């Protein structure tokens, strides 16, 4: 089948990867390789630390289950080795008694679902991460949580496209011609494109193509060098993520439209949070601060829409790196077996119809 993918973020390229591996003829159109939030993401696979519940947690667990195989497949096709830690990668700190209480309540619910949680006292947390600052009430390790270098993963996806002969073309799509529930064409400034099936994965820009309430949530994220930590340190003040030879410190969450500027306020938020959590970072080298746009929705849930000949995949908000394998598999399963994932119903845009 001829498949056209719009968007070269992790969602579009992961779907292109799975479909190309299954033998479909895939072509990707993107406005800009580098503007996607996927390039700047922290890469935490952290549904428990984010305290997700219900459908969001279930979908996250589905994706976590797929992650080892997804990474293996991608490494094989791209011949790029990913920086990936598949389990117990995150130390979730409680910094106040209230935060400890709500994390404890959450941890008990998670245990009731059969997941294992390791609880650490302040002394144990400090033993695990000697660089921790003062004011730690305790910590949790949720066994299933992982960490992947999102930038390297994106590089690997681009190499995989090349090796699978998936053509990526640059064009700015300004219109998706939709009649009833079928796409007739997608129209770009360079030309008009036709395919048997369309995958629309435009991230935070979805609203300019489809009638969905997706908007950008700006995130600034800092890169530093010079301090070694062994696990992600995740707290309400900041998260600090070890990568191959550097650290990421994240992230701001701003309602600022598509403002790409790094701001002094953003820098202050990131540096003060980081220094509270890991004071030793005071002497670290500040390498860069970058911005990205999380595809956000009013209820912070993704938007999946399956039409007659298209799938719209957007609204991945804070968890697109985590949710990419499960998102791509929904489209693969549909095209291979006609099986419609229940998540197309659960996260359908029809939930916004009355707004």
What is the contact surface with ligand FAD in residues (CB under 6 A)? 6-12, 29-32, 35-38, 40-44, 172-173, 201-205, 208-209, 219, 221, 250-251, 292, 294-295, 314, 316-322
CB of 121 vs ligand FAD, minimal distance in Å: 27
- Residue closer to ligand FAD by CB (options 173, 233) is 173
CB of 308 vs ligand FAD, minimal distance in Å: 21
CB of 326 vs ligand FAD, minimal distance in Å: 11
- What is the chain's percent helix, strand, coil content, to nearest 5? 35, 30, 35
Dihedral pair phi/psi, residue 220, rounded to 5°: -100, 140
Distance CA 232, CA 89 (A): 6
- Residue closer to ligand FAD by CB (options 235, 314) is 314
Nearest to 293 by CA among 206, 205, 217, 201: 217
CB of 123 vs ligand FAD, minimal distance in Å: 28
Distance CA 341, CA 50 (A): 24
Residues 6 or more apart whose Cβ sits within 8 Å of residue 176: 6, 183, 186, 187, 198, 200, 209, 210
CB of 127 vs ligand FAD, minimal distance in Å: 26
Eight-state DSSP code of residue 310: E
> CB 89: neighbour CB atoms within 10 A?
26
Distance CA 77, CA 104 (A): 42
Distance CA 289, CA 125 (A): 28
> CB 158: neighbour CB atoms within 10 A?
17
CB of 4 vs ligand FAD, minimal distance in Å: 11
Report the SS3 class of residue 186.
Answer: strand
- Residue closer to ligand FAD by CB (options 110, 328) is 328
CB of 49 vs ligand FAD, minimal distance in Å: 10
- Residue closer to ligand FAD by CB (options 137, 206) is 206
Pairing of strands 167-170, 303-306: unpaired
CB of 99 vs ligand FAD, minimal distance in Å: 19
- Residue closer to ligand FAD by CB (options 32, 350) is 32
- Residue closer to ligand FAD by CB (options 277, 322) is 322
CB of 250 vs ligand FAD, minimal distance in Å: 5
Residues 6 or more apart whose Cβ sits within 8 Å of residue 174: 187, 188, 189, 208
Q: Hey, which residues does 178 pair with through a beta bridge?
A: 183
- Residue closer to ligand FAD by CB (options 101, 265) is 265
Distance CA 213, CA 207 (A): 6
- Residue closer to ligand FAD by CB (options 137, 278) is 278
Can you say whether the dihedral through the CA atoms of 274, 90, 70, 66 is positive or negative?
negative
- Residue closer to ligand FAD by CB (options 197, 293) is 293
């Amino acid at each position: 089948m001829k498949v056209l993918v719009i968007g070269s973020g992790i969602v579009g390229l992961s779907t292109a990867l799975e479909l190309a591996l299954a033998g479909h003829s895939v072509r990707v159109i993107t406005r800009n390789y580098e503007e996607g939030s996927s390039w700047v993401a922290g890469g935490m696979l952290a549904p428990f630390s984010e305290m997700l519940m219900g459908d969001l947690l279930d979908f996250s667990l589905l994706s976590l289950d797929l992650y080892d195989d997804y990474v293996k497949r991608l490494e094989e096709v791209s011949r790029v080795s990913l920086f990936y830690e598949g389990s117990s990668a995150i130390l979730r700190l409680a910094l106040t008694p209230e935060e400890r209480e709500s994390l404890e309540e959450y941890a008990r619910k998670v245990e009731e679902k059969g997941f294992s949680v390791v609880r650490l006292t302040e002394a144990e947390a400090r033993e695990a991460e000697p660089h921790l600052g003062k004011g730690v009430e305790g910590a949790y390790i949720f066994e299933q949580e992982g960490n992947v270098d999102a930038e390297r993963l994106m590089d690997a996806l681009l190499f995989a496209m090349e090796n699978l002969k998936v053509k990526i073309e640059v064009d700015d799509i300004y219109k998706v011609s939709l009649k009833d529930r079928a796409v007739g064409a997608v129209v770009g400034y360079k030309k008009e494109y036709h395919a048997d099936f369309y995958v629309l994965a435009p991230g935070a820009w979805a609203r300019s193509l489809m009638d969905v309430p997706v908007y950008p949530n700006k995130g600034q994220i800092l890169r530093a060098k010079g301090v070694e930590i062994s696990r992600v340190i995740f707290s309400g003040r900041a998260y600090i993520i070890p990568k191959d030879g550097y650290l990421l410190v994240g992230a701001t969450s701003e309602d600022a439209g598509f403002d790409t500027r790094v701001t002094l306020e953003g820098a202050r938020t990131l540096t003060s949070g980081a220094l509270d959590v890991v004071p030793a970072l005071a002497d670290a080298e500040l390498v860069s601060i970058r911005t990205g746009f999380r595809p956000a929705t009013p209820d912070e849930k993704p938007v999946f829409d399956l039409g007659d000949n298209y799938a719209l995949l957007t609204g991945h908000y804070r968890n697109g790196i985590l949710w990419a394998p499960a998102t791509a598999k929904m489209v693969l399963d549909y095209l291979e077996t006609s099986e419609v994932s229940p998540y197309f119903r659960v996260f359908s845009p029809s939930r916004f119809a009355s707004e």
